[in-house]
Each structure stands twice: as C-alpha cells, then as structure tokens.
Amino acid sequence: MKIEINSFGKLHDGSNVELFTLINDNNLTVKITNYGAIITSIEMPDKTGKTENVVCGFEKLDTYLSDEYLGSYPYFGAIIGRFGNRIAKGKLEIEGVSYDMAVNNGPNHLHGGKVGFDRRLFKAETFQDEKQLGVKLNYLSPDGEENYPGDLDVTCIYTLNNDNELGIEYRAETDKTTVINLTNHTYFNLTAGKENILNHELELTATKMTEMVEQIPTGKIIPVKGTPWDFTTLQKINHRLTEVPMGYDDNFVLDNEKGELKYIGCLKEEKSGRQVEVLTTQPGMQVYTGYWNPELVIDGKKKFGSFSGIALETQHYPDSVNQADFPTTLLKPREEYNEKTVYRFKTV
C-alpha cells in the first residue's frame, strides 16, 4: 500500500489545494482532495481486470470551481455539512433560540447552506500502518458560519485497507449546542460512465422509510413492502421507473438505533461484475439516483447528466431538527459526534 501527494491547483484566493492518492495492493485506488474533502476518483478492476473510475468526479480543481458545474450543483464526492439533506423552510430552533438558515433548495435549507463544508478547505495529514493507510482532514467551522451556532471542530478520516474497504469516519466537537448531520455525496457508476445507473441492481436491509412530502418528512415512518421503494430483494434501479419517473431521492430507515457498524446494502452491476457493499453506524441512508445531475462538457466531451450516478448517503434523517421523534442531531459541548461508513468493493 502507498500514498501519493500532489498539487491539485489553487483556489480563487490563492490557497493551495492537494490531491491524496491512496493505493492498496489489489489495484484499488482512491483519490481525495482537501477541498471539500472530495473523493474525486475511485478506480477498481472489473471482472476482466480492467481498472476504471467508478464515481462521478473531475481530474482538475478548476472544474469543481467552474460556474457551469456550480450552476446545477450535484455535490460530486464531497463531505456535506454542517447539516446534510434538508431543513424545512430553513427554520431551526436550538434550546429555545430560533435560527433562520439560507433557503437554497426551493423553500428549504439544503446541505449546510450556500457555502457548506463541500466548498471549504480542510487541513490534511496522511498516515499509514500495517493494516491501512489514509488521510485525516480537519476543518474548524466558526460560530455563525451559515448561521449555525457554535465553533464546530470537524474531522473526517478516510482509510483504505487490503480488504478493499474505504472507511469514512466523522468526528466533531462544539463549544455551543448546535446541530450536525455529516455525510458523503459520492455518486457511483459501476460501468465507469459507459452507461447510466438505471440497470444497476440495489439491495437494502431497510424495510421502512421516512414518508416525504416535497422532500420533507411528515414525521411518519412507513413500510416499503409492495412499493417502488422496496429493495429488500435485489432490484434494478429502473424496476418500477414508470411509477417514479424521476427516480429516487428518499431516506431509508436502517433500524440502527444503537449506532453499530452494520451491513445495510449492496449496489451491483452485472456487465462489469463490480459491486459496492455499504456498512454504517448511521440510522438512515438517502438514496439519490441523480435525476438532476447536469450534463457537462469536459475537455470537449459530454459527460454526466440524468441518472449518471447513484449516491448512497448514510445520514440522520432529513429535517431531524424539527422532528422530535427522529434520532437527534443535536450536539452539545463536551459531547463527541462520531459516525462511520464503510464502502467495501468487490468484483465477482
């Protein structure tokens, strides 16, 4: 196993950005930049041994900064925070104090606001031992950033081992009670972009989901059995597309109240033989099939567009801050927020 560190360019303010390449002994390569803690690339072999990038991302920092990309922004590969997913109407109350958050997704607050963690520069350090290697990324979000209370010290630790497991661990502490819901927004396409993801197959342990109206939970937890959201047995993404023509953007309930690291699903693609298993300590997972992904012209070639990738965003439920019966997203001083997700890559 080895780590490579290279320059990835400069931000508009002149700050240097780095790219960290994690390589294990099985020809699995993960590239991560400290801008937005973004996974830019995951290269893995198919069943013939051909190694290709199986996530949506760019080879140049300038593309992540471009107006074309940010104009229809899909958050490719980024860490999302302070609060992943939506907060209804941007309204938040903590310990009796009301906060008005940026409304940046229809009538709602999305993914931490106008400039979330996905567009912040993290401090980075690499590490390696006999079992794994990785990069530790740190960001101090100051009190009042995007109108969230408290200085929030956030650490994201990416690890790669020879079991082909990519670990993402989140840690955070605050000096004032705040809310936090961190996730990673990597989009997988196991055909390496040759096709869209509608023929991918998905299996989830989740038997329930949060009932949603216009992307905001009603507060009810409902069964998936018999609905287009039933992936308790392996199903193609497009298995009931006539009923959900815009695909999926929904939160599945994982029955993981104890916060144990457990298996919750698998994404497969038959032609390549590639698959990704997901394990997490989080109580939920948003499955988003990328209907609104923009089509971009990269180096003269059209790329991405609708259904170009599927995001498996392990998380706390959307709008948890306004739903007393949902697992809490409050973080108080002297407490530590700690969650972990593992993506395990296989070729069969």
Q: Is there a contact between 294 and 216 (Cβ–Cβ < 8 Å)?
A: no
CA distance 32 to 42: 9
CA distance 62 to 196: 25
The DSSP 8-state label assigned to residue 119 in this structure reads G
**Counting Cβ atoms within 10 Å, is residue 86 exposed (0-12), middle (13-18) or buried (19+)?**
buried
**Counting Cβ atoms within 10 Å, is residue 233 exposed (0-12), middle (13-18) or buried (19+)?**
exposed
Write out the catalytic residue numbers. Answer: 185, 313
Helix (H, G, I), strand (E, B) or coil at 220: strand
What phi and psi values does residue 31 have, to the nearest 5 degrees? -110, 130
Residues 6 or more apart whose CB falls under 8 angstroms from that of 101 comprise: 87, 90, 91, 92, 109, 113, 146, 147, 148
CA 299 to chain centre: 26
Check whether the bond before 119 is cis (ω within 30° of 0): no
Q: Is there a contact between 232 and 207 (Cβ–Cβ < 8 Å)?
A: yes
The DSSP 8-state label assigned to residue 32 in this structure reads E
CA distance 181 to 256: 16
CA distance 115 to 40: 19
